[in-house]
Structure 1
Amino acid sequence: MLDIIKGGGLLIWPILICSVVALAIILERLWALRTSRILPAELASTVWTLWRNDRLDAGSIRQIALNSPLGAVLAAGLANHKHGREVMQRCIEQAGRQVVHAMERYLNTLGTIASISPYLGLLGSVLGMMKVFAGFSAAHGAGNPAVLAGGLSEILITTAAGLAVAIPSLMFYRYFRGRVNELSMRLEEEAVRLIAVLHGEREE
């Protein structure tokens, strides 16, 4: 493995750094975007129980807000429902934007890695080709085998490494984007339901 890294030339190092960062982001987002963390199944029933029993005071609303991203959205509505539907809706929308922003954390970085990794591999290939052509120069003698082998190795390794980082990074970037959109829609559904129930437009 170490020999492969050494054979990749200088450009293999930024590619390796990209791979480590991408792996860390993927693992962190897989953990952070779990449904049980974003949309706890028991939270809605807890909110309605407190509502029916007239126990939605400032303390309980604060606990709901700290429960989860869904809790933060619902708490924004609960804390402002007495100010009218329009104010309540604006507060929920603002809280929702903050939650979505948090769910999208690091995704731009992952997308950037997916975009630049093939170019790093391509740049490494160009440098490798320059090394190959240098093998034909008078300084190295005609067709120096060691220089030619080193250049070809650099071309193949950096190209493969760049693609190996870019492909899974792009796949997970697309997956997480879709995941955020799905969770956002479900958050919106719960928020609309809360507004309707608290203003007597539908039952729990």
Structure 2
Amino acid sequence: MEDTVYQIFLAGGWLMWPLLICSIIVVAISIERFITLKADRIAPSGLLTRVWQQLRDRELAGESLRELRDTSPLGYILAAGISNSGHGREIMKDSIEEAAAQVVHELERFLTLLSTIANMAPLIGLLGTVLGMIQVFADIMLFGTGNAADLAGGISQALITTAAGLTIAIPAMISHRYFERHVESLVVQLEGQATKLVDAMHSDLFRQS
């Protein structure tokens, strides 16, 4: 079985190598994003409640605030807002939005590359097929069509890169769409948590406490 796969790979020509590299990148990115984008790592459950309690107890300042900033992306956003909460609601919101923009940029890391591979892999496969067909027709011009088996074999080899390109592109596209929607869901959670903090810190109850 392994020998057969290897022979098919070699039959596809030199363009199978960049396709192989693309497939490795897709797998690596998918694994890395799956681990990195777990909800509990981005927006830990109960973090906002703990932060609010520390604020009420006047315990969130200095080192505690730096620790919050380093705990998670949500902690980074909340810490940015808290650091500027004394300058008014709008300044606090602006600080949160700036921090959120950085977080979203990190959440979307590698997704553009994943999309690029999904679009590029079929084109590489098609190029390999075109080059293979050119070679087949060149052989026909030189040797004629007397041997149908060799002709069919040459055409099948020319189509290998297209099949390989599609085999890579389809999972890459699925993976990109999945992580894109997952990031959107995480962003909604982060925005919701940050909005609750802003509303709570600028409520009459908090100001009077």
Matches within 5 A, 1:67-86: 67-86=71-90
Task: Give the share of equivalent positions with the same residue, in percent.
Answer: 47
Matches within 5 A, 1:42-121: 42-121=46-125
Indicate the larger mover: 142-151 or 90-99: 142-151
Question: What TM-score does the superposition give when structure 2 sets the normalisation length?
Answer: 0.91
| Contact 2:48-2:197 within 8 A present in 1 as well | no
Instruction: Give the superposed CA RMSD.
Output: 1.7
* CA pair 83-90 structure 1, distance change in 2 beyond 3 A: same
Aligned residues: 202
Q: Give the match for residue 34 of structure 2.
A: 30
SS at match of 1:10: coil
Shift of 1:133: 0.8
Shift of 1:116: 0.6
SS at match of 2:53: helix
* CA pair 117-143 structure 1, distance change in 2 beyond 3 A: farther
Shift of 1:145: 6.1
Distance 1:10 1:18 in 2: 14
Distance 1:113 1:202 in 2: 53
Matches within 5 A, 1:1-204: 1-138=5-142, 140=143, 142-143=145-146, 148-149=151-152, 151-200=154-203
1:123-170 per-residue CA deviation (whole Å, 9 max, x = no partner) reads 1111111121122122x4544568635532322211110000000100
Distance 1:143 1:83 in 2: 85
Greater share of residues in helix: 2
* CA pair 194-202 structure 1, distance change in 2 beyond 3 A: farther
Shift of 1:19: 0.6
Distance 2:82 2:90 in 1: 13
Question: What TM-score does the superposition give when structure 1 sets the normalisation length?
Answer: 0.93
* CA pair 9-147 structure 1, distance change in 2 beyond 3 A: farther
Shift of 1:90: 0.5
| Contact 2:69-2:75 within 8 A present in 1 as well | yes
1:162-201 per-residue CA deviation (whole Å, 9 max, x = no partner) reads 0000001001111111111111111001111000000116
1:40-84 per-residue CA deviation (whole Å, 9 max, x = no partner) reads 013112202211211011211111110000000000011111111
* Paired residue type of 1:193: K
Gaps of 5+ in 1: none
Distance 1:145 1:195 in 2: 75
Gaps of 5+ in 2: none
SS at match of 1:137: helix
* CA pair 113-143 structure 1, distance change in 2 beyond 3 A: farther
Distance 1:33 1:113 in 2: 20
Distance 2:37 2:140 in 1: 54
